[in-house]
């Protein structure tokens, strides 16, 4: 098992890797010896994340680009390939979210989440394909339970994440002949993330969320990261096109965290954006 999770000499690229779950994944790959490049919109966040990554394993690089801008994304990926060679593991995790009822949401608010999640995922994967190791590359998209569980105040995210998971499945079909595996990870409620800070801003809301997790606790970014290490490893070489919840069983409750937050008044239906 230890040899499978030895990523020394391998290049990992994480889109959205400057914070939250995606940074946790980047940190885990760095600790396993990988050369890790991250990309996000904010230079200060990228610099802070690189400071955390430095010295954990292999080389570290931080780049800035908006996933909605194909040319900018392609330029970053081209630079990583020029400097480090083929990309072994590609993680696409940029996402947008805010709680709002459909009638309290503008068309621009809906479009913004679709553009970040669906268009952004396509841009990252499409631009990266020419630089992925063939065969042997692993692509991991970070999805959400909204992709298969309808939730109030989340019409935009439900539509976007369903799109992300279909991108995963279609590209698994199309890129399998290249020896590239494409999968989605669906995290549950993860403590310390911006999303949980909005959904569970107090102890009452946190307790309500945890009551809907069969394993009885919030997840940690490392819970997701360790599964990403497995999914990119030789032990997962026969796995592609899957959408895998890593959520302590919380998705079994349907609406999950959103419903729990509504029940204790932590969210206000109809919040506009």
- pLDDT tens digits for range 57-77: 899 999 999 999 999 999 999
Mean per-residue pLDDT over the chain, rounded? 92
Would the pTM of this model clear 0.85, i.e. be above it? yes
Cβ–Cβ < 8 Å for 80, 61? yes
Give the mean pLDDT of 68-91.
98
Its sign, for the CA torsion 124, 142, 45, 256, is positive
Q: Give the pLDDT confidence score for residue 264 in this predicted structure.
A: 63
Of the two residues 92 and 273, the one the predictor is more confident about is 92
Report residue 194's pLDDT band, with 50, 70 and 90 as the boundaries.
confident
Of the two residues 204 and 119, the one the predictor is more confident about is 119
Task: Determine how many CB atoms are found less than 10 A away from the CB of residue 6.
Answer: 12
Question: 2: which residues sit within 8 A by CB, 6+ positions away?
Answer: none
Give the mean pLDDT of 250-265.
71
SS3 186: strand
Report residue 273's pLDDT band, with 50, 70 and 90 as the boundaries.
very low
| C-alpha closest to that of 12 among 177, 73, 27 | 27
d(CA 269, CA 183): 33
Give the mean pLDDT of 202-209.
88
> Token pair for residue 130?
């020419």
Q: Give the pLDDT confidence score for residue 1 in this predicted structure.
A: 42
200-213 residues labelled b (16+ CB within 10 A) or e (exposed): beeeebbebbbebb
Give the mean pLDDT of 138-143.
98
Residue 271 predicted with pLDDT over 80: no
Could you tell me the domains of the chain? 11-195+220-250 (3.40.50.720)
Residue 269 predicted with pLDDT over 80: no
Q: Give the pLDDT confidence score for residue 262 in this predicted structure.
A: 65
Q: Give the pLDDT confidence score for residue 272 in this predicted structure.
A: 44
> Token pair for residue 132?
């992925």
Q: By mean pLDDT, which of 32-46, 124-138, 184-198 is the weakest?
A: 184-198
Give CA angle at 7 (6, 11), nearest 5°: 175
Q: Give the pLDDT confidence score for residue 259 in this predicted structure.
A: 66
> Token pair for residue 237?
């070489």
Per DSSP, the chain holds a count of helices (H) and strands (E) of 10, 7
């Amino acid at each position: 098992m230890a040899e499978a999770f030895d990523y020394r000499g391998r290049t990992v690229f994480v889109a959205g890797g400057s914070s939250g779950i995606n940074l946790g994944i980047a940190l885990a790959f760095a600790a396993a010896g990988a050369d890790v490049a991250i990309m996000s919109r904010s230079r200060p966040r990228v610099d802070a994340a690189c400071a955390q990554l430095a010295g954990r394993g292999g080389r570290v690089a931080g780049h800035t680009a908006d996933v909605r801008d194909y040319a900018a994304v392609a330029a970053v990926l081209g630079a990583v390939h020029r400097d480090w060679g083929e990309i072994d593991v590609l993680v696409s995790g940029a996402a947008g979210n805010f709680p709002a009822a459909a009638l309290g949401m503008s068309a621009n608010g809906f479009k913004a989440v679709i553009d970040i999640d669906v268009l952004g995922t396509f841009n990252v994967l499409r631009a990266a394909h020419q630089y992925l190791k063939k065969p042997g590359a692993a692509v991991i998209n970070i999805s959400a339970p909204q992709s298969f569980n309808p939730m109030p105040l989340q019409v935009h995210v439900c539509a976007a994440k369903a799109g992300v998971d279909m991108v995963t499945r279609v590209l698994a079909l199309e890129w399998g002949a290249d020896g590239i595996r494409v999968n989605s990870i669906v995290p549950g409620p993860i403590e310390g993330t911006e999303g949980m800070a909005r959904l569970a801003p107090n102890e009452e809301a946190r307790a309500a969320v945890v009551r809907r997790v069969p394993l009885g606790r919030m997840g940690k970014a490392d819970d997701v990261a360790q599964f990403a290490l497995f999914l990119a490893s030789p032990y997962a070489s026969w796995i592609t096109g899957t959408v895998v919840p890593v959520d302590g069983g919380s998705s079994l409750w349907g609406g999950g965290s959103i419903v729990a937050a509504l029940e204790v008044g932590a969210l206000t239906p109809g919040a506009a954006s």
